[in-house]
Structure 1
C-alpha cells in the first residue's frame, strides 16, 4: 500500500502536516476567543474569496455595521446596550482573523499537495488520504457558515449543535493530520505499514469525543456560567434543571445539566486515558507523559474556569489544551497501533 518511489519525500510531507496541525490548533484557539467575545455573528455574509479583504474605508465599515444591525443579536442585545462602530470593529476583527486562518489552512494543505503530487513526492497510497484532509477543510468552512447562519434570522446566538459539529470537525481534522504525519515519518524510516486503530484506542477515542461534544455544547449555551463552584453546583451534587420536556431534551438543551455532564464525564475520560497511557508507556514513555500532562492540565483548567466564572484567559487556555489533548491521544493511539 505504501511502496515508496525514489522521488517520494515522506519526511518532508510529515513536517508539512505537523505545521498545518499547528495552524489548526491556532484556529481552534482563535475560535474559542471568537466565541468568548461573542464575535461570531459580526460578519453576516459568506464570501469565500472576496471576503478575504477587510473593510478598507469608513464607508466600508459603516456598510458592514449596517448589515450587522439587521440581525437579532444587535437588535435585541448589542443595540440596546449602546454598541457603536468602534465596539463593532472590536468583534469584527476576531471573526475576520478566524476566517482568514481557515483560508490559510485550506491553502496550506491544497497548494503544497498539488505541488507534491505533480513532482511525485507523495508515497504510494497517501494521495487520496491527503486529498481527504483537504476536502475536510472545505467541509469545515461550510460547517462554519452553516453555524453562523443559524444566528442571523431568529436567534441571538448560533445553534450549539452546529457549533459542536464545527468544532468537532476541526478536532477530527487535527487528529487526521497528526496520525498521517506519523505514518509518513514511519515510511521515511523504512517502515511503510500504516498504524491501525486498536480496540482500546477506539473506545478511548469515543469517550473523549463525547467530552469534546459536551464541551462544545457548554460553549454554545454559555453553560460554563451555570455554576462558579466545584465540586457542587447550587450546593448540590446534581443541580436543578428543566426536565419539563423530557430527560433527553434536558440532556441536549439544559445548560445546568449539560454543564454537570461535562464536569463529571471528564473523570470517565481521565480513567480511559490513564488505562491507555499505561498501555502506551512500554513503547513510548514520552507519549504516555504527554497524555497524562494534557488531561491533568485540562482538568485543572476546567475547574479553574468554572470557579472564576469563566475568566477569559483560563477559558481560552481550556480550549487550547483541549486541542493539545486530542494530539496527545492521537499520538498514543498511533503508538498502540504500530505494526513493525
Structure 2
C-alpha cells in the first residue's frame, strides 16, 4: 500500500503508539547522508529510494533472524551524539506528521557505543532529540523512550538501572528484545526484579517468533506489564468458530488481567508470525476483547506508518473507525505515563479526534 492509498480521514485520526524501534524507523535519506559523513561504506545502496526498497525487501524474508540483520546498517549511523539526536528528532517529527499524539520509542543503548559514547551520553542524546522533535512539531506529540536490553547480551541489569535513573527525564520504561529462541526472558530475571523493587515499568518482547512458553515466562516469572507482540497467545485458544473455541488458562489470564498486546501486523507478516492482514490474529483477539493495540514495530523495514497499519486493517480485515478508536484508547490506557497525563490525552485529544 502506497501513501496515496491512505485515506485523509485515517491519517487525521489521533494515534497512540507503544511499540516502535528507533533504529527501525530512520529516513533512508538520513541513513545515506550520515553514512557519507561518517565514512560508513557498507550500505547496500547509495541513494535513498533504492536503499528504502532494499530494507523492505531484505526484511520481507519470513525469518525473524534475517529481519534483525537489517539493523546493522541503521545502527551503524547512530554512533555519535549528533547522529542520535538527529535520528530521534526526525522520528518524533515523522510520527507527529502521521497523527501520532503519544509514542513510546524503544532502542538499545548498548548498541550505540562504538563511537566512544557512554551509556548515559546515548540516553541524553536521544532524549534531547525527542524534545527537539516535539518542539519542531508544535508540541502536537508526546514522545517517551523505552530502554531496551538485548536478550543475548549481559547488560540487562545495567540498562534497567539506566531506565530508573532517567525516568524523570523522558524515559518511561524498560524492554528486552532480540531473537527469542534460546534466549528466554528468565535469563534477565535480576533486571526485572530490580525494576519491580523500583516501581518501574517494563514490557517484554514475547510470543512473536516463539510460542506460549515465552509469553508465560514473561508474565508469570518476570512480571511483564505488557507483551511486545504477543501474537502467539492465539495458540491457547480453541479453533475459530467451533464449539470448543474457548480460552486456555494462559489466554484467559492475559485477557482477564487486561495485559496489553503490542501488536504489529505488517511486521508479523515479514517475520512469518502471520500469513496476511486479513487472517492476522489481531482481529480475532480484538473480537474476543483482549487488550489489543496497533503498532508499527519498524517503520523503515516494513515501509509502514500508523496510518498505513490502520488503513490495512480497515481494507483487509473489515475494521471500522470505532475499532480504531477502541485500540487507540487501549494503547493510551496502557502507556507508561502517569494516570492523569494518560487521561488528559484520552479525554482532550483522542476522543474528540474520533
TM range (shorter): under 0.3
TM-score (norm 2): 0.26
Higher strand share: 2
TM-score (norm 1): 0.27
Higher helix share: 1
Greater radius of gyration (CA): 1
